[in-house]
Structure 1
């Protein structure tokens, strides 16, 4: 008789050892670079520092002492006191690589860390990264990962930023943490920002005794918040241009002013008051609306000619109602890009009000799946037609989402209006392995 075949069966202890080896390898893996973009033009430098990483006890792997290469970048290297600075901590080369022959799956790791502030301002900045990584082959080198956070500038001067401790959290079979600490803190300085001291806020304000008057009438002007003892100029304004109607007063010990201005210019739209030789937003107040009513009698043998400029409406039109975005290969997790159809905004109201053009998008639905609305981002641009009283401002680049974001706007002013062309580059972050098919979302624009 032939021998009975033997079946191979590993013991519970052997299985535990293999799971522990797998978990230990996972705990030391890191997220892929590119999940968070490093600000362009950052002057940061890569720095090396010794790091002590402690795998979870269940992994059965001893602590790893190695060298981490990292850099710190910021979105604003010359902020003012009170500004918020966005910090990106990029671990270029982690202190360890995959210690086993087992490949690690994608998108299981979430990093967090700290950035150490020094110089003019002390403290730390908490930074976090997304749960995103490419598969890591057995014995493979871990890719870099990035984490971001913000801090508020409280002190003027040079503020240094150094990489600090970081932690790698894994969500694969079990929730595990692998903390990596700086062996000899602080680590070398990677980035320095130079903070300026904000000037005090301008609290100057004026009020008028009346909102209108005949040519040559005197209007009372009172104000507060001026520099004690300063000479203050009162002046008429025609739109953004100063008229020839001016007067001067002196601020008292409390910074208050009181005087009068004779207004002759028929085109006057407002009155301002300012310190110094010329108008500035830092040392001025106003304009406060004022209208000259031309009620002069018509001389004998003359005819008074009048015309009316009728106020129009605020409207917008689109160059199209569909955008075909670029295709993305299955499994790539790439960006699908396109361009928003140009939007023309016409502000023919002729008043002081500005406008705002906002947009929001629905989820992108497809064959039994969807792509979240928050995955769509845009980079707005806005141009103003020559001769327009207002100047449009493009909204900030970033996510659109279902909550919406500003595409473009024009500020309030003494006289607003004009014609504007608004465009935007679109980018949809398509997750890896999104089921093949066509996905569509609706982007709704609202003009107010």
Structure 2
């Protein structure tokens, strides 16, 4: 029996050699794309590219480094994302740098690939990608079939973003656990994919204030404002309900977006003042109306008395039920939705004018022991209820990403007479990446009422 042991050892060594040779090639099948998968990807400027690759086998293989050409392509699930969107990236090696160099057939499902996709253009950095432990048997001296790896990244800047194949590693689990890193010889590799990101629409934070709330026909009222587009032409005009009156002037915003105008009010129908950019009113680029009352000074008939009373206009205000929200925990390695409920916000509109209001929110990045979770990972589903008897009816904002650009939580429209009491809230959810470092993460959601 002793004479059989060297033969047994040689067979085991051959098996180890075969497994490491597969890893050295940098091209063992990990997860061949499902039939038709390429047709479901949304791509822009997609192309397969060739690039030189340097692969270093484990020392136990006894094989020198392999320098060859890898052919690969990058695909995405969204070629036209908005800032804050999450894009899924697939890195497919369609032609590995080498084949199986030995006569020994290699078994199925022994390889797990990981790698990087390099970002360029409007956004820098890299995307970590990985594939499942899945491959068909590879015959001796056979050609390695393709394999794919996937990952995600959050778009952080508008513009053209390029994606190029990066370094990858093949981990083999056949008799021994071995790694074979394969690097791009002359980085970066050619661009395989280009996507075009657009800005996330932000909340309108423009606002105006009047120097006085009333005056006689012909009086001038000072109008100031903020958060307009720097150096933009601004129309300042009187309003009666939803219609514009004859009181009008045009000024230019300052270099910081501030507004300063003097409006002469002659029209007795004027009940408010608005300011907007462009040729006509646009709620996304305007502010107001701010309430204004024209005091009728028409002389009284003989032998008559004018009886005056007043309803004092109040303010637009908000209060919130608390200043801390504890979201649910997620598991390391799984990630997913960390969810909770926003503290209720009560809005009281006692101005008694024609102006509606808008309650918007924006959030900072969530910081913790592992760095940060991007603000674009926070989304909400807003809600709003109106107290019975209120002249206005509030509408909840659209469900979606909050992010650093901001989004609307709730609002009421302009009208002939607006006001009331309202309660706004939201279901909030933070999409935590799977392998975010354990620990507590916190971001600040700032609410603005205008």
Query: Which bracket does the TM-score occupy, shorter chain normalised?
Result: 0.5 to 0.7
Distance 1:252 1:311 in 2: 25
Q: Does 1:114 align with 2:118?
A: yes
- Return the alpha-carbon distance in structure 2 between the equivalents of residues 288 and 411 of structure 1: 14
Deviations 1:32-74 (A, max 9, x none): 599xx99987244764444544431435277475773524337
Distance in 2 (alpha carbons) for counterparts of 1:383 and 1:304: 38
Q: Deviations over 1:178-202 (max 9, x none)?
A: 135699x747x65564989xxxxx9
Partner of 2:168: 168
Aligned partner (choices 261, 275, 279) of residue 272 of structure 1:
275
TM-score by length of 2: 0.52
Output aligned runs, 1:88-237, within 5 Å. 89-96=89-96, 99=100, 101-102=106-107, 109-114=113-118, 126-131=125-130, 133-136=132-135, 138-139=137-138, 141=145, 143-147=147-151, 152=157, 164-170=164-170, 173=177, 176-179=180-183, 186=190, 191=194, 193=196, 210-216=211-217, 217-221=219-223, 226=231, 233-237=235-239
Q: TM-score, normalised by structure 1?
A: 0.53
Superposed CA deviations along residues 304-351 of structure 1, whole A, max 9, x for unmatched, are 4859889897678xxxxxx9xxxxxxxxx999999x899996744227
* Post-superposition CA distance 1:144-169 (Å, at most 9, x none): 11355558556xxxx695x6443212
Q: Secondary structure at the match of 2:55?
A: coil
What is the correspondence of 1:26-105 to structure 2 with a 5 Å cutoff? 26=23, 28=26, 29=28, 42-44=42-44, 47-50=47-50, 52-57=52-57, 58=59, 59=61, 60=63, 63=66, 68-73=71-76, 75=78, 77=80, 89-96=89-96, 99=100, 101-102=106-107
Cα-Cα RMSD: 6.7
Q: 2:348 & 2:411 partners in 1: Cα distance?
A: 14
Matched, 1:349 2:348: yes
Secondary structure at 1:393 match in 2: coil
| 1:281-300 Cα shifts (integer Å, max 9, x gaps) | 79x77548565497999973
- In the comparison of the two structures, how many residue pairs are matched? 374
| C-alpha distance in structure 2 between counterparts of 1:427 and 1:274, whole Å | 36
Instruction: Give, in angstroms, the shift of residue 354 of structure 1.
Output: 2.0
1:248 aligns with 2:249: yes
Structure 2 equivalent of residue 22 of structure 1: 19
- Paired with 2:20 and 2:32, the residues of 1 have a C-alpha distance of 22
CA pair 244-304 structure 1, distance change in 2 beyond 3 A:
same
TM-fit CA distance, 1:143: 3.7
Task: From the superposition, tell whether residues 55 and 420 of structure 1 become closer, same or farther in structure 2 (CA, over 3 Å).
Answer: same
Give the equivalent residue in structure 1 for 2:324: none
CA shift in 2, pair 1:170/1:211, >3 Å: farther
What is the alpha-carbon distance in structure 2 between the residues aligned to residue 33 and residue 131 of structure 1?
Answer: 13
Conserved? CA contact 2:119–2:127, under 8 Å: no
Residues 364-403 of structure 1: pairs in structure 2 closer than 5 A: 380-382=380-382, 388-389=393-394, 391-396=396-401
Could you list the per-position Cα deviations for residues 251-271 of structure 1 after superposition, in whole angstroms to 9, with x for gaps in the alignment?
A: 699999754322766884544
SS state of the match for residue 22, structure 1? helix
Match of 1:8 in 2: 5
CA distance in 1, matches of 2:380, 2:132: 29
Matches of 2:113 and 2:87 in 1, distance apart?
20
Alpha-carbon contact 2:170-2:180 (below 8 Å) kept: yes
Structure 1 residues 10 and 55: alpha-carbon distance in aligned structure 2, compared to 1, 3 A threshold: farther
Q: Secondary structure at the match of 1:25?
A: helix
> Which sections of structure 2, spanning at least 5 residues, go unmatched?
139-143, 322-327, 351-356, 367-372, 387-391, 436-444
Deviation at 1:111, TM superposition (A): 0.5
* Unpaired stretches in structure 1, ≥5 consecutive residues: 118-122, 197-201, 317-322, 324-332, 362-372, 399-405, 432-445
- Tell me if structure 1 keeps the 8 A contact 2:235–2:248: yes
2: CA distance, partners of 1:285 / 1:407: 16
Higher relative contact order (CA 8 A, sep 6+): 2
Distance 1:195 1:343 in 2: 28
> What do the CA deviations read for 1:359-394 (whole angstroms, capped 9, x no partner)?
x99xxxxxxxxxxx99xx887544667963455132
Quote the offset at 1:205 in angstroms.
9.3
Distance 1:259 1:303, change over 3 A: closer
* Residues 170, 176 of structure 1: 8 Å contact kept: yes
